[in-house]
Amino acid sequence: MVPFSLCPSSSYPPPPSFKLYHKSRFTVTTLSGLCGRKRRSGSSCRLVVLSTHSNPKILKSNRRSRYGQPRSPYDQDDDEEVSRASDVSDDDWLLNDDFAEISEFDVNRKRSKSHKGFANGHSDGRNSKHTLEKSNAANYYNSSNQTNDVSSLDVPRKGKLSTRKAMEDRFPRLSEEVELDEKWLPLIDYLSSFGLKESHFIQMYERHMPSLQINVCSAKERLEYLLSVGVKQRDVRRMLLRQPQILEYTVENNLKSHVAFLMSLGIPSSRVGQIIAAAPSLFSYSVENSLKPTVRYLVEEVGIKEKDLGKVVQLSPQILVQRIDISWNTRLNFLSKEIGAPRDSIVKMVKKHPQFLHYSIDDGLLPRINFLRSIGMCNADILKVLTSLTQVLSLSLEENLKPKYKYLVNELHNEVHSLTKYPMYLSLSLDQRIRPRHRFLLSLKRAPKGPFPLSSLVPTDECFCQQWAGTSLDKYLDFRQRLLLKEFAKKYERKG
């Protein structure tokens, strides 16, 4: 809302941004409200107030809530944000770990304000020499000799009306939700080729409205460059929804320098596209003032060797854009106090599974450590398991760790201490590997008496058939398929 004061008295001349056509009666409007507004009837003279400030989060006043109730243009859209988020696929590369707190690199999941530049506010002048093509706001009003109403929008041309009508017919929901400008249509058409729908454009509008004002040729140049360095076509939609500002980043002054930085870490060119798709917000961070200092901290403070940096970043691209000092120190202190882990062991954990630096301590690390304690492990055993298989910290308790432990004790007749020798057991699939191999050896009467050897679960299927089953791979795969169907039928009956 634009603060101002008006006085109809002639003793105070109007400011330069005002144009007074009649003293007796006037209407106040802002520049942001002019775009796309329908003609209003009436012959009253008007005062048009132009303002260079606009709030893209203010939508049409005739909007209604999802429950059909009238809404104020200043209502918050938090309830709709939830429903729109469901349109985004959940197949993010490397983002499927339980309790991985990856959230657009905004720890508190605060919604970025669309009228501010970058969502997370970590860019600076030297970093973001990007080009934002703004639509021309000139010639918004035009005088007429036949009417006292001076807004040019009250004298629409047939071409504009037909274009707007076609646009509203094609994008009814988008036209209803936002003040849609026909100048955006070429860009919307182009982005639709990546699978974006109306709900996605609304989400982009509310997240960062200027991204829809980009010239379509510039957008093509930038996205085609990203595709050329390995970003997959299917990942573009998710990237734009998470970081619509990416359309504003110029190739020469931003994209190329960030790609060169990634390759300088030892990341092969074949993996650069995956890194970008997993962490598109890295383009909003200055290479010199943010990304390079983060890398130096990993080397000098955490203790990651330079030769291992590429591997660590490939495993967890988000490590480049998080507050690594806070993440590292809090988890270092926690593991040192909770299980007596020495610094060297925690560094090994970071190298093997850097994602754990994103995991919540209260909801992620501590419950899993307590589970290992509950089955009889001491701190030394827990440390050995976590150092060998840090991925344990990402596994679901109810769907993964607990069922595997029960099968280990009740079916395989092993003791818990066997997990310190074969911690890999906890990372194997119960349905796809552990149960089929155990049942297959039992059916062949080749299972040894006593505790079932966990070493038989480690090799590949082909080696398992040669060394343990003494039969063909096809025979084992057929047995496993029938077992999986049988187990699926049992689960279906229980649910029914």
Domain count, the chain: 3
C-alpha distances out from residue 158 to 95, 120, 151, 155, Å: 50, 43, 16, 10
In this predicted model, what pLDDT tens digit does every residue of 475-488 receive, in sequence order?
999 999 999 998 88
- Asked if residue 115 is part of any domain, the answer here is no
Torsion of CA 247, 166, 42, 6, to 10 degrees: 0
183/317 same-domain check: yes
Per-residue pLDDT at 261: 97
Boundary-marking domain end, from 426, 443, 468: 426
284/226 same-domain check: yes
Per-residue pLDDT at 496: 59
278/218 same-domain check: yes
Could you give the CA distance from residue 173 to residue 231 in angstroms, rounded to a whole number?
Answer: 30
393/405 same-domain check: yes
| Beta-carbon contacts of residue 180 (< 8 Å; ≥ 6 apart) | 36, 167, 168, 171, 174
Name the one residue in this structure whose structure tokens are 């279906």: 492
- Asked if residue 400 is part of any domain, the answer here is yes
Could you give the CA distance from residue 241 to residue 208 in angstroms, rounded to a whole number?
Answer: 10
Residues of the chain with pLDDT under 50: 1-158
Per-residue pLDDT at 426: 95
- What residue numbers bound the domain in which 359 lies? 325-426
- Asked if residue 311 is part of any domain, the answer here is yes
Could you give the CA distance from residue 423 to residue 227 in angstroms, rounded to a whole number?
Answer: 40
294/354 same-domain check: no
184/255 same-domain check: yes
Ranges assigned E (strand) in 29-87: 48-49
Could you give the CA distance from residue 440 to residue 436 in angstroms, rounded to a whole number?
Answer: 6
387/438 same-domain check: no
290/419 same-domain check: no
Mapping DSSP to helix (H, G, I), strand (E, B) and coil, where does residue 80 land?
A: helix
| Beta-carbon contacts of residue 106 (< 8 Å; ≥ 6 apart) | 112, 119, 120
* Neighbouring C-beta atoms of residue 78, cutoff 10 Å: 8
Per-residue pLDDT at 495: 67
C-alpha distances out from residue 423 to 53, 69, 340, 391, 418, Å: 60, 56, 19, 10, 8
- Asked if residue 442 is part of any domain, the answer here is yes
DSSP H or E segment with residue 19: strand 18-19
- Asked if residue 64 is part of any domain, the answer here is no
In this predicted model, what pLDDT tens digit does every residue of 44-78 receive, in sequence order?
444 333 333 333 333 334 444 433 444 443 344 43
| Beta-carbon contacts of residue 469 (< 8 Å; ≥ 6 apart) | 440, 441, 444, 446, 476
